[in-house]
Amino acid sequence: MKATGIVRKIDELGRLVIPKEIRSTHGWENGSSIEIWLDEQGNVVLREYRPQYRNPVEKLLEEAKAALPALDGAARMHLEQAVMELSTAVRHV
């Protein structure tokens, strides 16, 4: 492990600010999901969260759900219906 020389305090709500230099180095932007791991020695490891899908349809469904706010009218209605139907079908697989 490499020391950065950066020290941060945890606030009263348990939050810890990750310095901009570290966020930039790792490509973490505002809103990025960060996963917290412990290594074999008990050290805390932060990694960008990348969900593991059981099958490719689950990933497609997540992408379709994320696209819904950008749509309106009939396109949104049809995509919402398709997402609902596929979600139901995936649960039965």
Same domain, 60 and 35: no
Query: Model-level pTM greater than 0.75?
Result: no
One domain, residues 43 and 86: no
**Contact of 79 with 71, CB cutoff 8 Å:** yes
What's the token pair of residue 73? 């009218």
Q: How many domains does the chain have?
A: 2
Q: Are residues 9 and 40 in the same domain?
A: yes
Tokens 């997540």 locate to 62
| Domain with 45 in it | 1-50
**pLDDT of 15:** 95
At 89 the three-state DSSP class reads helix
Tokens standing for 68? 């819904």
pLDDT digits over 52-81, tens only? 767 778 888 888 888 888 998 999 999 999
